[in-house]
Amino acid sequence: MNPSKVPDIVIGRLPLYLRALTQMAQDGKEITSSQELGGELGISSAQIRKDLSQFGEFGKQGTGYNIEFLADQLKRILHLDQIWDVALIGAGDLGTAIANYGGFIDRGFRIRSVYDNDPSKIGTWAGAYEVHSVDQLEKDLRDMGIKIVMLAVPASHAQEVTERLIAADVKAILCYAPISLSVPDSVKVQYIDPVLHLQHMTFYLSK
């Protein structure tokens, strides 16, 4: 199926399905159904079937889906049949927490290198990673062929770093700073801003 024809929102649900399937596999299950999977995630079974049908036929009528097989297919679709090297920019509290997070490698990502612009941090360690200067950032990233970056720098520096990332041919940025980055269409950006989520929920609260 032509990737450009599949709605982005569908793509966004695939990792969710993969996460649930992985959990099921760890629990020792071998087979599931769209209904069970949907129940787990709060999504209708029809929508799951529809989403999957965009990419092929993965189930057996009357039986359901083989969990391992479907997970493998989703990994292939999402290009997770490989480990992606990722760079982390920013070794403050947040960057250090990210560096210490052990949940990346099992799900397809490996932190390859950590950077900061604070001279006093260069050479220190953020978890298992030595902190490097950003002086050679573009060259470093190019040499390592890194296409994905986690950006954990203050909002005031995020756009300027982003421009260097674009120059380094980075194609995907996960931005933790609470701002909107300006990038060309060829670069994908996703944002993580916990406050946005909190503010979304307070709308429904009263006090």
Q: Which residues bind a second copy (CB under 8 A)?
A: 3, 11-12, 14-16, 18-20, 23, 40-42, 77-80, 82, 84, 86, 93-94, 96-98, 100-101, 103-104, 107-109, 147-148, 150, 155, 171-172, 174, 178-180, 188, 190-207
Among 3, 28, 57, 204, which residue interacts with DNA (rule: CB under 7 A)? Answer: 57
Question: Strand 129-133 to strand 109-116: parallel, antiparallel, or no bridges (unpaired)?
Answer: parallel
Closer Cβ to DNA, 61 or 206, answer by number: 61
For the bound state, the minimum distance from the C-beta of residue 74 to a second copy, rounded and expressed in Å, comes to 9
Tell whether residue 45 is a contact of DNA (CB under 7 A).
yes
Among 14, 21, 65, 67, which residue interacts with DNA (rule: CB under 7 A)? Answer: 65
Site for DNA in 153-192 (CB under 7 A): none
For the bound state, the minimum distance from the C-beta of residue 178 to DNA, rounded and expressed in Å, comes to 21
Residue for token digits 């209708």?
44
Contacts with DNA by CB under 7 A lie at 7-10, 33-35, 43-47, 49-50, 52-53, 57-65
